Amino acid sequence: MTKWLEGRVVENRHWTDVLFSLRVEAPQIRFEAGQFVRIALEEELARPFSFVNPPQDPVLEFYGIVVPEGPLSPRLEKLRAGERLLVATNPAGFLVLAEVPDAETLWLVSTGTGIAPFLSILRTEAPWRRFPRVVLVHAVRYARELAYRETIGEILRSHHNVFQYVTFVSREPAPGSLAGRIPAALRDGRLETAAGVKIDQRSHVMLCGNPEMLKDATAALMERGLRKHRRRTPGHITVESFW
């Protein structure tokens, strides 16, 4: 039986009409950067959300989007400071650096709210200690959905020799971002050109977000000789699907 902690919302930041970040005070909970936990308003209707905050931060943070026909996300978007959020006590998930073998370049590739676990990972010491280069890729429909740019700017300032940030905006022209989708840009080389880094068997690619992107991007990477990573047969691709 899942045990639940009672958290209090301290802030619900809205990035757009449908994108929001809940900051929540809750009793301490242990997790690894990249993991998720189930959250709920009532125990019967819980959904997994990735931690955005690194494990050392006392305030929990979750980054969400309203799925209009979904039962929980429209209600989370409406939460205000002071309201209650239940947080399960058993974080889980394998999208963590402890599961990733050493590599020349760590690629963190996301669509939409799939950037959340990477924001947690990037604010720990491990990526900078272990990987000579780190590339964060974030694909969204509209430029206004490129959330957390201040946070990413701080990471860029602290790790400017090591860290690259590449964005995609798929549904409007956006200067400074690539157009189209991640798998196509993997195939035609635009992603590597934008990052200034090659993707090959010296890379490890962590992918998170839309399951169709995960499938298409994995196929594009496998065409280039990368393999899915498993504990018993180490490879180069680790994925986490949000639905």
Ligand X SMILES: Cc1cc2nc3c(=O)[nH]c(=O)nc-3n(C[C@H](O)[C@H](O)[C@H](O)COP(=O)(O)OP(=O)(O)OC[C@H]3O[C@@H](n4cnc5c(N)ncnc54)[C@H](O)[C@@H]3O)c2cc1C
Is the Cβ of residue 99 or residue 104 nearer to ligand X in the bound state? 99
Which listed residue (59, 67, 81, 219) binds ligand NAP by CB under 6 A?
67
- CA 111/CA 22 separation, integer angstroms: 19
Q: How many whole angstroms separate alpha carbon 70 and alpha carbon 180?
A: 27
Given ligand NAP, ligand X, none, residue 242, with its beta carbon under 5 to 8 Å by kind, binds ligand X
Core vs surface per residue 86-101: b (16+ CB within 10 A) or e: bbbeebebebbbeebe
Nearer Cβ to ligand NAP (181/190): 181
From 171, 198, 202, 230, residue interacting with ligand NAP (rule: CB under 6 A): 171
Q: Find out whether 146 and 177 touch, Cβ atoms under 8 Å.
A: yes
Minimum distance from CB of 65 to ligand X (Å)? 5
Find which of ligand NAP, ligand X, none residue 72 binds, CB within 5 to 8 Å per kind: ligand X
Say which residue the tokens 């189209």 belong to: 180
Shortest Cβ distance from residue 62 to ligand NAP (Å)?
15
CB-neighbour burial class of residue 144 (10 A; exposed 0-12, middle 13-18, buried 19+):
middle
**Would strands 4-14 and 19-25 be described as parallel, antiparallel, or unpaired?**
antiparallel
CA–CA–CA angle 167, 104, 242 (5° rounding): 45
Q: Which stretch binds ligand X (CB under 6 A): 65-73, 152-160, 161-169, 220-228?
A: 65-73
Is 167 a binding residue for ligand X by CB under 6 A? The answer is no
Q: How far is the CB of 147 from ligand X (least distance, A)?
A: 11
Applying the rule CB under 6 A, the residues between 177 and 216 that interact with ligand NAP are: 181-183, 210, 212-213, 216
Integer Rg of the chain from CA: 18
Tell which positions 95-114 bind ligand NAP, by CB under 6 A: 111-113
Residues 11 and 14: their CA atoms lie apart, in Å, by: 10
Closest approach, Cβ 49 to ligand NAP, in A, equals 14
Q: Of these partners, ligand NAP, ligand X, none, which one is at the site of residue 181 (CB under 5 to 8 Å by kind)?
A: ligand NAP
> Which residues of the shown chain bind ligand X in the complex (CB under 6 A)?
36, 47-50, 62-65, 67, 70-73, 93, 112-113, 116, 240, 242-243
